[in-house]
Amino acid sequence: LTANRDPIVKILGPEYGTVEGEDMSMLNLLDKMKIGDDPEIEMKMKINLLLHQLDLQLLNSFWKQISKDARLNATAVNNEVNLLMNFSGKGEDTVLESLEYTSDYVFSNGCRAPPWRQLHGEICYLVIKPHDTDPLCITCSTAGVFLNGVSNNEGFCGVMNIFLDKAAKEDTKEERRVDNVYLKSKKKASCISSEPVKTQPDSKWYGLLTFLPLRFLCFISTVIITILCIWQCQLYWFSSDIRQFYSCVTQMMLFIFSKTSGRVEDVSESSSETETDEEQPARRRKASTDMPSEYWEIQKLSKYLIYGDPTATVIALCAMRDLNLAQEACQLAIRDFGCLDVLINLLDTEEIRCQIGSLKILKEISQNTMIRHAIEDLGGLELMVKVLDSPDQDLKSLAAETIANVARFKQARRTVRQHGGIKRLVGLLECNSVGSASLSPYQANDTELARCGALALWSCSKSTKNKEAIRKAGGIPLLARWLRCSHTNILIPVVGTLQECASEPSYRLAIRTEGMIENLVKNLSSKHEELQMQCARAIFKCAEDKETRDLVRQHGGLQPLSVLLGNSENKQLLAAVTGAIWKCAVSRENVSKFQEYKVVEALVGLLPEQPEEVLVNIVGALGECCQEPVNQSIIRECGGIPHLVKFLRAPYQALLVNVAKAVGVCATEPENMVIIDQLDGVRLLWSLLKNPNPDVQVNATWAICPFIENTKDAGEMVRSLDGSLYLILNLLKSNNEEVLASVCAAITIIAKDEVNLGIITELGVVPRLSKLVNTNNDKLRFHLAEAISRCCMWENNRVTFGDTEAVAPLVRYLKSSDPLVHRATAQALYQLSEDPNNCITMYDNGVMKLLLPMVGSTDETQQETAAGCLRNIRRLLLAKEKAKY
């Protein structure tokens, strides 16, 4: 049987073979055609044919295997996410800015979705942030990968909200049959229609047309990869890179060709716009029979509003105003019965009564998100901007206040700017009644007009381009004038506009030079919490500059800030106040004042049970205050160290940045360092080196340095943490110079232990440091030179630095204007000069002229190292001269 595995072939020929994989017809044919050929060529041909046959067998086997995995599983999704994370980051050579799971908890089956969603096949949820568009929410399920918020064939917006209650789910089902917001002509009032508008092709054909390209491309890609595998060799297929590439391509095609229908509410205004408070359109509800009576009253009034003469229209507007327009049912009725179109069209008439009545209603109903978007779609903002040119002050006030309500999303703000609204709104601030204690009726109207204009500018100032437009329109001096008044109702929008604009350096300079800091500090003592909050936010943004921090202290602003810490109930006010304290604490003079007002104790007392925004500011303030050693003891005595260590486990990046810095500063005191070590804080700091955020990496690395430098048996402690040295060296691949500087400082301390120096040398620290020497950053130069000097203590590292061409760039460091760089470089050159080849390189690059002045330095260490380096070079030159004779 071994010799005759297929007897039928022996009897009837190879065409009747029954044993799979035993088709020897090609070899038999080769034997028959062989006529005195070279045996070596014959053997190669047989091997090639056998490999081809094996290739086909492996391909068939693999095809059967992958055909069983028709559905996604948690392992496959995790592999794809890990692959894409390798191509994510802040650099220009990355595909995505970030890719994160929405939940860190992993169930035993590998899924991250809640159990009740796993029943529907869902595996996990992802948030993908591309470089050039808004973040995307992705749902991974066994059926594939889907983009949340994308319509399916039935027009249902399938945003996967797993927290919907039963009533909300019913509303979501109703949304499937809701049409787009009215997109009718702004010149014609539309009639009420009960027939839905068909906005996309028939579901069956729409789904088919969407599905065909996906199936076709998947089929083509599979065929191409299969042909390549057969052509090259199946062994290449088992390379992990090709498997990952194929899987990634498949998933990306599923993602790219997923159906996207429906209306995009917010259009990106420009790449320069960075807005974090962008609103999302609310769910659109369908009218039902259980609506209140006001809903049906508006239906009756709509007939008079649409078909009546001007008098009937005014009466209908007055009747509509008497209803509770703050109620959502009334707002829905105005939209559903076509009244919104008419209200906007009335703004284009010359009838003042109709315009005022329309704006009063629009001002009330524009509090609703859907109504705001509908107003913008129907061209309402353009007409409101035109109304600002009206001579009627009441009309202009209503138009500005309505603009303030509508301009809460990007597209609306852009529309206001493009139609000249910013210049008109700034013009409303021009008034002669600024600073008057008692106002005449005429002055009161002017003040109200300015208040409405400031409200509109406040809404529009969330756009970067609008901030520039306000500045060019002369808004800064006018805002400064109104900041001196005593009327709270106008101060709030004025300060709100200033604090929004204070994110721009030009505004911070203007606020400082126009003397606005004194007024901001004065209003911190106001009785109105909203005004206090806006002033604190303005100080928070302006205190980025040292001159502003000094002005806040000189005008007595630190004490009211410390007093406001006692109001812990208002979280928004607390966040603004702690932020202002944080930025002001950057100046050491301000920290001394905060010590007098017991601010550190108050901040530590606020650490438990605070929202993220408040915690970020509190920890940031503590990190700055800890620069004074006395405050480090205060934090320990008040029990703040355990809270800070606990926050090292927080998932918030901004909090991790500040808490790593605070823990590192506190660790400079021995007693604090012992407590942090007992609470496992050292291990948590090392684990933060894996964080992808460069700011977290920088502060975590600096925080580790005191522990390595001051702990007994620090070398053993570092080695006891698995992978710690590899983790540090891996950060030398970073493109962030701050990260590189902190890592070089840590390597300088780690290399003091001889065993650790040997380990990092084996891990390749020398060539990695050599790659960094061509830098112009003096901070990185200083720490890099120190690290090179320390690493030269190990065996042949001096020679290796010379071989990797690190010596010549170091000589150029001596031309820096920073004396610290001179000192560290002199030490490094002295160590490197122990190798003769390095001395030659230094001499050729003119080190003698640069080192000679340093011999006369007042710094003894710099004197000795410079002189030692010159001595080694001179000895080599003398030896060379002697060798000639």
**Read out DSSP for 426-493?**
HHTT--S-TT-SS--HHHHHHHHHHHHHHHHHHHHTTSHHHHHHHHHTTHHHHHHHHHTS--HHHHHH
Q: 3-class DSSP state for residue 291?
A: coil
CA separation for the pair 8, 15 (Å, rounded): 10
Long-range contact pairs involving 58-61 (C-beta distance under 8 Å, separation at least 24) = 58/234, 58/237, 59/226, 59/229, 59/230, 59/234
Nearest to 468 by CA among 249, 712, 319, 269: 269
Q: 3-class DSSP state for residue 376?
A: helix
pLDDT score of 243 = 42
CA separation for the pair 661, 701 (Å, rounded): 9
Q: Kindly indicate the confidence band of residue 620, based on its pLDDT and cuts at 50, 70 and 90.
A: very high
pLDDT score of 10 = 64
**Average pLDDT for the chain:** 81
Check residue 233 and report its DSSP letter: -
Pick the range with the lowest mean pLDDT from 223-227, 432-436, 441-445, 766-770: 223-227
Q: Which residues pair with 101 in a beta bridge?
A: 126
**Read out DSSP for 510-572?**
HHHHTTHHHHHHHHTT-S-HHHHHHHHHHHHHHTTSHHHHHHHHHTT-HHHHHHHTT--S-HH
pLDDT score of 275 = 43
Looking up tokens 């693999």, which residue turns up? 62
Structure tokens at 570: 């208002």
What does residue 407 show for φ and ψ, rounded to 5 degrees? Answer: -80, 55
Range among 44-58, 162-176, 580-594 with highest mean pLDDT value: 580-594
Asked whether 745 and 779 are in contact (CB, 8 A), the reply is: no
Is the confidence at residue 375, as pLDDT, over 50?
yes
Pick the range with the lowest mean pLDDT from 150-154, 201-205, 212-216, 827-831: 201-205
Is the confidence at residue 66, as pLDDT, over 80?
no
List pLDDT tens digits, range 312-352: 888 889 988 888 888 888 888 888 888 999 999 999 988 89
List pLDDT tens digits, range 846-884: 999 999 999 988 889 999 999 999 999 999 988 877 777
Looking up tokens 């493009």, which residue turns up? 418
Cα maximum dimension of the chain: 120
pLDDT score of 177 = 33
Give me the mean pLDDT over the 792-811 stretch: 93
List pLDDT tens digits, range 16-55: 555 555 555 555 555 655 555 667 777 777 787 788 788 7
Taken as a whole, the chain contains a residue count of 885
Give me the mean pLDDT over the 255-280 stretch: 41
Structure tokens at 814: 């001596």
Nearest to 659 by CA among 708, 623, 711: 623
| H, E, C per residue of 635-678 | HHHCCHHHHHHHHCCCCCHHHHHHHHHHHHHHCCCHHHHHHHHH
Is the confidence at residue 658, as pLDDT, over 70?
yes
CA separation for the pair 504, 765 (Å, rounded): 42
Asked whether 236 and 55 are in contact (CB, 8 A), the reply is: no
Q: For residue 110, is it left (φ>0), alpha (ψ between -120 and 50) or beta?
A: left
List pLDDT tens digits, range 83-108: 888 888 887 778 888 899 998 888 88
Helix (H) or strand (E) holding 145: strand 144-147
Rg (CA), the chain: 36
* All residues at 6 or more sequence positions from 321 whose CB lies less than 8 Å from its CB, including other chains: 357, 360, 361
Asked whether 431 and 477 are in contact (CB, 8 A), the reply is: no
Classify residue 431 as exposed, middle or buried by CB count within 10 Å of its CB (0-12, 13-18, 19+).
Answer: buried
- Interior angle at CA 650, CA 646 and CA 656, nearest 5: 95
Give me the mean pLDDT over the 748-776 stretch: 95
pLDDT score of 6 = 64
Is the confidence at residue 198, as pLDDT, over 50?
no
Is the confidence at residue 486, as pLDDT, over 60?
yes
Cα distances from 441 to residues 425, 446, 447, 482, 789, in angstroms, run 22, 9, 10, 18, 78
List pLDDT tens digits, range 437-464: 566 777 788 889 999 999 999 999 999 9
**Read out DSSP for 340-362?**
HHHHHHHTTSS-HHHHHHHHHHH
Q: Kindly indicate the confidence band of residue 512, based on its pLDDT and cuts at 50, 70 and 90.
A: very high
* All residues at 6 or more sequence positions from 215 whose CB lies less than 8 Å from its CB, including other chains: none
**Read out DSSP for 17-82?**
--STT---HHHHHHHHH-SS--HHHHHHHHHHHHHHHHHHHHHHHHHHHHHH--S--HHHHHHHHH
- CA 525 from chain centre, in angstroms, equals 35
* Amino acid, single-letter form, for residue 142: T
Per-residue burial over 724-734, b = 16 or more CB atoms within 10 Å of its CB, e = otherwise: bbeebbebbeb
CA separation for the pair 579, 619 (Å, rounded): 10
* Amino acid, single-letter form, for residue 188: K
Asked whether 111 and 174 are in contact (CB, 8 A), the reply is: no
CA separation for the pair 538, 571 (Å, rounded): 17
